[in-house]
Amino acid sequence: MSLARERSIEPAALAEAVAVLRPRLLSPEVAYGERLKALGSLSDALLADGGAALGSPGDIGLPALTGFLRSENLEQLIAREVAHPAALEEFASTGGRKHLRLLPRGVVCHWIAGNVPLLGVFSWALSALVGNLNVVRLSGTQADHLSPLLECLKELSDAGRAIAEETLVVRFEREDEEMHAAMSRLADLRVIWGGREAVEAVRDLPRSWDAEDLILGPRISLAVVDPALAGDRVLSRLVTDIVYFDQQACSSPQQVYVKGAPGEADFEAFVSRFAQEFERQACAIPRHPLDFGETYQIQRDRVRVLFADGSLEHDDGTQWTVAVLSRPRLDIHGVNRFIQLVPFSRLEELHSFIPENAQTVVTLLGPDETAQLAEDAARRGVCRFPRPGEGNSFELPWDGIPFISRLCRWVVRTEPRQRPDEGSA
């Protein structure tokens, strides 16, 4: 159900809409297996029409969305966290006399980040999959990608219609404190995507005493590469991880650490090949138009590279920039296809360069070095170590958070003894 077109939605209207839906949590119309099939059917439908139902499929990342919604992918994500998936539909034996049941958390309210709205669609889909009611908030300027998905979904099956009806899409401005507070009070779980200021603003809202928060806050990512392993196909995948979302995604690398040293043949060859592939993809993959502030930032950061005795490869405008520096510059903004390449000789050199809010390290190393880097960097806060081409693939856990576990209530039941003469119940 979309209330997103209603610019002046009132708190009472939202509360009433949620109240109408809450009884479904006590008498669900659709079981987990049917929800799984419905979301898989949505993936198939979007692929069949090239995402035409979305209006502008390129804006949201159609390949990533359809791949995520595949039934096989969703089942794998569930299995990664839930040892007994049958517990999503009934009390399932976990051994001995214990049985486990996973029930919906209740009303899940999503605050969607403006930079990569696709991630908010992922959290909605997982929440809907396990049977929650969902309220998804958009800002006044955000494109509404979810309502077209819901319209498509409800035409596919009865289960799809039920999921669509259990989702409220609302739109109100950042400054509308009354609506933010009203939405927060309705939540059994708040899913908060965004930068630090946005996250803290939602966390400070009034809420039910037992409501929980699932926070997906400001993160940055990087890549670590051995040029000896960077064949053409792998190099292309690495560049795609950087270029596709203009580095707006928290999982998009902002620096690439390259094994070797400037002047060495392998290092220089890698830089040349990387810049050529970066230029090719920057021209081939559509992007948002840069405003004056973004253009000025790119020009200023290029000057900073030169003042730091770095070298530059870039186009005649501001569409892409490859900077080679002896060490990363924190005052350079790693967005809008501006990437820093930094040499290293030993993995230990990278420890001081890993920020506290690092999320992803796209890794192209041999097995031993991959294991060493992952162990050391994970202790410094890194959550993911995908291979090139997988950097922006949403997976669980994400930001170190097991989503399914947080989206469910875990209920345990002890079976009565089979023979009364064995003792008490």
Residue at 27: amino acid letter: S
Q: What pLDDT sits at residue 119?
A: 82
**For residues 64 and 106, which has the higher predicted lDDT (pLDDT)?**
106
- Rounded Cα–Cα distance for residues 425 and 65 (Å): 49
Domain ranges in the chain are 2-217+399-414, 220-378
57 upstream amide cis, omega within 30 of 0: no
Residue at 36: amino acid letter: L
Q: What pLDDT sits at residue 4?
A: 47
Q: What pLDDT sits at residue 420?
A: 60
Give yes or no for residue 2 having a pLDDT over 80. Answer: no
Angle at 58 between CA 57 and CA 63, to 5 degrees: 80
- Phi, psi (deg, nearest 5) at residue 355: -75, 160
Lowest mean pLDDT among 65-74, 158-167, 350-359, 412-421: 412-421
Average pLDDT, the chain: 92
Give yes or no for residue 245 having a pLDDT over 90. Answer: no
Task: Copy the structure tokens of residue 200.
Answer: 């803290």
| Confidence at 51, pLDDT banded by 50, 70, 90 | confident
Q: Which fold has domain 220-378?
A: Aldehyde Dehydrogenase; Chain A, domain 2 (3.40.309)
Is the overall model pTM greater than 0.95, yes or no? no
Segment 198-218 shows an average pLDDT of: 95
Q: Put the strands of the sheet holding 321-324 in their side by side order.
A: 311-314, 321-324, 338-344, 253-259, 220-225, 358-364
The answer to whether 359 and 341 have CB atoms below 8 angstroms apart is no
For the stretch 339-370, pLDDT in tens is 999 999 999 999 999 999 999 999 999 999 99
- CATH numeric code, 2-217+399-414: 3.40.605.10
